[in-house]
A and B are shown apart, each in its own frame.
Chain A
């Protein structure tokens, strides 16, 4: 009989063994996810400080590994001007997985608060080099050199230095080394920065890549969106584990007060009615709830219809103006391009509030991006770059929206941007790259696009008209001189007749004769098309014999 050994696994250990879950699946993806996590932490920190973020990222080649994949060890430095981390919290914040316990909700970029730590962990296991974190909240500057003790899930501090902060610097610098493959992810990386700058127009980002190339993303505004407020959870979205933890920390003495204290939107009457609905005594002590009763309450909370809608003040949408600023700046739109941004009112799915923002962009500048629709997807101000076709927003633009209604045909170059913000983004997988088909979310995305596209129709009609007008003028300026020249020669006249008057006549905006149904075709008249109209028939071929001798036509 073999003896089986059971062993407790620390969260660090768990992620060490399952690092693909957090996105570190291969060397190129690892460096992408690593940078992304650090940048997003920095953005959150700056937003908390209500300070327009100024972030500096640098990737340097440290050494080339002589292994099979010939991967490279990179040195990575990410520097921000955010709140800074109090020195006593630095080890836990950066070198411990699952640090912190939140019983309130507000929108933030990281989902588990572990992305940054995961990056550090991945760097450590691929290079065995410590991470250096330098941070100041405005007072002294603290610098920690640390490793993560994976089995104990805690920081192992190698060095802690304190420097005086003469220049009153505030912010955080993370320096680490990790194995990776940057060239293969380069284009995505730059695209990621561009889209991040698009959806965070107040971000000033500097990036220096391993070849020492400098990328600058300058901010387009100093205005930042309103900070999300922390709110208590909505009972509809609670799970058993969170409920259990609330019970373990509550100071309330009975269930009625427990519900009112820890959940949003519950007053004394609602609390009583809900507990009756759930079949729980309102006088019951929370601490005495049995596991079965906890499950019963959580399920009842999902069925109970009388709760208020979830509070959306915990959300921080970008706002129509900022979104427009960001897109204009990163796409380099001009005054002639069309952009319409929309912010939908807050809605909810499964007890989580969410807001959809959308932008539709068209015009000459967009044409450079190629034909058809270019989709930008954002969740809580993070760009989503992978698995586009699995995303609900892709489904909406390719299936739910009838683009013809807006005079958009298959080739019309168009940009559609979708931003979902929520306390819980409905990701379909842990990879955080695409949104699940939540019907409420799908419906809101479609509504937002439709609303933005209404003005698009007008823009497209207008530009088609202009295009046609330009085309007309081109055609007439090309042919009229020829008619003039050859009629003169044919008539044996000394001078060409004056066509200027005719050209002037062409150069006035088209009137009713250019009818609407021409618009419907969406195609401007090609001058090679022979007319179908009554007074210029094309002779049909099949009735007509080859009646002449040029048998070598072709």
Chain B
């Protein structure tokens, strides 16, 4: 009984998305029939219309609207692309299929006169569609290519066709479970974990699984593989919200690692039109610049590129507080950086036996 209700909920969601896509089609259809060049309004995604909002603790779009008008010779191409993408999304939703950003790009190339110069142009149109309909692309069945993974005592229930109602525990696969459309659209049923450990790098994720870190720390492990994909951020957000699990983030000790943590915390400007991707209370707990000193880690020198990035981060209001600010200043002082793997110096299990417990205690 419970099962059936959940699936109908997923169906209801799909229905809403499909209706709004069809509505867009109707709008354009009617405009043309009235002898008018079709146009649509959407929130502006230009940089001066993106602002950080303290209440929701993420970037949001401002009030400025733009009109994309097919009478404008510069707009008609992206307008056409948008209409095609909406149609493609509707087909996906109708057929209950999913696709990747790259597949959408190539499907467009198979279509005469729907032209893209590169995938970036196509991705950009998909984002336009998200803004125009106020929906995330995952709701249209469009996913990025998967590369992040999740592992731990969490039971989920699939909603994808053919798997509806089927359950699995994420410890079933010792390599971790890939965060794809199926995991993203699944329902979270139960867990014994009480925290989430987010790890930037694959090698360290594998190390933690091997060392039974999920049991030792009672945690769900998430591997972001660099900058975390939106679907992964969405899962972290949901776990945090649903069960109040604290989130701890481990990244390389360099400006890029710092920012990977920040995007999980407060999102990116690129996704300012979306909600449900941020976890404002997540904590970045390492590798800190001060860890380099405290744990006498082997280091590399900061490159010019690293230094430039640190200066950029300093001008971002989100980094004004500690530990962010303090650690950035320490990086600048040290002129050094360290990778997660640097702990191997003290043996393979050091990070699980010593470093992580200490860091988790501190925070």
Q: Give A residues with C-beta under 8 Å from B.
A: 472, 475-476, 478-484, 486-493, 497-499, 501-502, 505, 525, 527-531, 533, 535-540, 543-553
Contacts and interface: CB of A to CB of B under 8 A. Distances in A.
Interface stretch (B83-91, B297-305, B321-329): B83-91
A402 B32 CA distance: 48
Contacts of A478: 113
Contact of B270 (A475, A536, A547): A547
Contacts of B176: none
Looking at B25, B100, B147, which has the most chain A CB atoms within 10 Å of its CB? B25
Contact of A539 (B45, B76, B78): B45
Interface residues of B, number: 67
Nearest to A546: B227
Given A482-B80, A535-B66, A543-B269, A549 B29 contact: no
Contacts of B259: 545
A536 B113 CA distance: 22
A179 to B, nearest CB: 61
Given A475-B76, A487-B28, A550-B123, 4 more contacts: A475-B77, A537-B66, A545-B268, A553-B102
Interface stretch (B33-41, B190-198, B340-348, B349-357): B33-41
B144 A529 contact: no
Contacts of B231: 549
Contact of A502 (B37, B146, B227): B37
B229 interface: yes
B44 A525 contact: no
Given A479-B113, A545-B227, A486 B87 contact: yes
Nearest to A537: B46
The 10 A-B pairs of least Cβ separation, nearest first, read A490-B25, A537-B46, A549-B229, A549-B144, A491-B25, A497-B32, A531-B74, A545-B268, A487-B28, A544-B270
A478 to B, nearest CB: 6
A302 to B, nearest CB: 65
Nearest to B263: A545
A486 to B, nearest CB: 4
B237 to A, nearest CB: 13
A539 B271 CA distance: 12
B29 A497 contact: yes
Contacts of A486: 25, 80, 83-84, 86-87
Interface in B4-58: 21-22, 24-26, 28-29, 32-33, 35, 37-38, 44-47, 49-50
Contacts, number: 169
Contact of A483 (B28, B120, B147, B269): B28
B33 A498 contact: yes
B284 interface: no
Contact of A545 (B45, B66, B86, B270): B270
20 contacts: A479-B70, A479-B77, A483-B28, A486-B84, A487-B25, A487-B83, A490-B25, A490-B87, A492-B22, A499-B32, A501-B35, A502-B37, A535-B68, A537-B46, A540-B46, A540-B47, A548-B123, A550-B101, A551-B225, A553-B119
A483 B27 CA distance: 12
B100 to A, nearest CB: 7
B148 interface: yes
A489 B25 contact: yes
Interface in B249-305: 259, 263, 267-271
Contacts of A551: 145, 147, 225-226
A552 B102 contact: yes
B66 A491 contact: no
A527 B79 CA distance: 12
B117 interface: yes
Contacts of A550: 100-102, 119, 123, 144-145
Nearest to B145: A550
A476 B73 CA distance: 8
Contacts of B50: 543
Given A531-B72, A533-B74, A545-B270, A539 B227 contact: no
Contacts of A492: 22, 25
A349 to B, nearest CB: 53
B114 interface: yes
A479 B76 contact: yes
B75 interface: yes
B96 interface: no
Contact of A530 (B38, B78, B113): B78
B150 to A, nearest CB: 13
A490 B270 contact: no
Nearest to A491: B25
B29 A536 contact: no
B230 interface: yes
Nearest to B67: A535
A246 to B, nearest CB: 74
A490 B21 contact: yes
A545 B269 contact: yes
Contacts of A529: 74
Interface in B106-159: 113-114, 117, 119-120, 123-124, 143-148
Q: Give the residue among B32, B79, B113 with the most A Cβ atoms within 10 A.
A: B32
A513 to B, nearest CB: 9
B38 to A, nearest CB: 6
B32 A525 contact: no
A483 B270 contact: no
B120 A553 contact: yes
A526 to B, nearest CB: 10
A544 B74 contact: no
Nearest to B102: A550
A551 to B, nearest CB: 6
A535 B77 CA distance: 15
A530 B74 contact: yes
A491 B73 contact: no
A520 to B, nearest CB: 17
Most A CB contacts (10 A, CB to CB) among B47, B114, B148, B231 go to B47
A530 B124 CA distance: 12
A527 B115 CA distance: 11
Contacts of B67: 535
Given A483-B38, A483-B79, A483-B80, A490 B144 contact: no
Nearest to A468: B73
Contacts of A502: 32, 35, 37
Contacts of B74: 525, 527, 529-531, 533, 536
Interface in B157-203: none
Nearest to A476: B76
A544 B46 contact: no
A525 B75 CA distance: 12
B29 A488 contact: yes
